[in-house]
Amino acid sequence: MTEAQDKESTRRTVRDAYGKIAQESGGSCCGPKSSCCGATAPDALAEALGYGEAELGELPEGANLGLSCGNPTAVASLKPGEVVVDLGSGAGLDVFIAARKVGLSGRAIGVDMTPAMVEKARANADAFREQTGLDNVEFRLGEIEHLPLADASADVVISNCVINLSPDKPQVWREVARILRPAGRVAVSDIALKQPLPQALKASVEALVGCVVGAVLVSETERMAREAGLTDIRLEEDAAAIDAMVQGSDALYEQVTALLPPGRKPSDFIVSIRLSARKPE
């Protein structure tokens, strides 16, 4: 299999799995009514990862599928009038939160490669407009390695537990830099590795879709952002987030733990990170 074929195979695996999640209206590739990162109820998991009860309560029903590993909108410091782009927007969780922050004069755009997710997000957008009177959200079908946006068209790029799934992460970071305006900002929550994973775990397709195998070392994430031309990179690790995601673990984390060396746990290898950066003026 060529490198291009391998990358497309990875995209297809992820697309199929998340399409299933969208069609089941919540639930993972590993079992019904649980997230890809644990069996905790979506709102409870989101609160553990830094979302406020009030902002979760203002979401359209079904916008939070429990697929988060952090809260990028909390890091982004969004301002009224800004254009925000969410990479891998799913059912719209962070897009709807961002839309309230940027207001009528701003815009929140979600990009996702899974048709079923985009369809679900657009249905949620109709409910959001009726609920808030805001007509400032949009969802586009596309790959995060080839974003359907013009150069220098975004003030802020956010992403939540998605870049780790890409088979071409350097290209994602280059796309982020391309669509950002000068002085534009990045706020990403993602999964990264503290140390390389055991070989047995690397072969697990379930763990790939569950935000584990696709991750790279923390230092590699920082390097890729820097090589894309971003500056003022700040990176924080949140080990507690992994424990929150594993709590009440579903079949995915049972499988992950079984493939780890004896006495080791997932948080010994993986960590939730918050990365912020900006594009030079």
Strands of 107-112's sheet, edge to edge? Answer: 137-141, 107-112, 83-87, 154-160, 180-193, 270-278, 231-238
- Tokens at 135, concatenated: 């007509």
Q: Identify the H or E element spanning 235.
A: strand 231-238
Nearest to 244 by CA among 26, 65, 29, 46: 46
Q: Is beta strand 137-141 parallel, antiparallel or unpaired with respect to 107-112?
A: parallel
The predicted structure's pLDDT at residue 38? 43
**Beta carbons within 8 Å of 255's beta carbon, 6+ residues apart:** 30, 204, 206, 207
The predicted structure's pLDDT at residue 207? 60
Distance in angstroms (rounded) separating the CA atoms of residues 63 and 208? 23
The predicted structure's pLDDT at residue 80? 98
- The conformation of residue 49, written as its DSSP 8-state character, comes to T
| Tens digit of each residue's pLDDT, the chain (281 residues) | 687 776 787 678 778 777 887 887 544 433 333 444 444 578 887 888 888 898 899 999 989 887 788 899 998 999 999 999 999 999 999 999 999 999 999 999 999 999 999 999 999 999 999 999 999 999 999 999 999 999 999 999 999 989 998 989 999 999 999 999 999 999 999 989 888 877 767 666 556 556 666 788 999 999 999 999 999 999 999 877 776 666 645 556 667 777 778 888 777 888 889 999 999 99
The predicted structure's pLDDT at residue 135? 96
Distance in angstroms (rounded) separating the CA atoms of residues 22 and 118? 9
Strand partners, 273: 190, 237
Provide the CATH topology of domain 3-278.
Rossmann fold (3.40.50)
Is the separation of the CB atoms in 84 and 141 below 8 Å? no
The predicted structure's pLDDT at residue 251? 57
**Vertex 181 angle, CA 176 and 184, to 5°:** 75
- Tokens at 266, concatenated: 């997932």
Is the separation of the CB atoms in 158 and 87 below 8 Å? yes
Q: Report pTM.
A: 0.88
Q: Return the domain boundaries, the chain.
A: 3-278
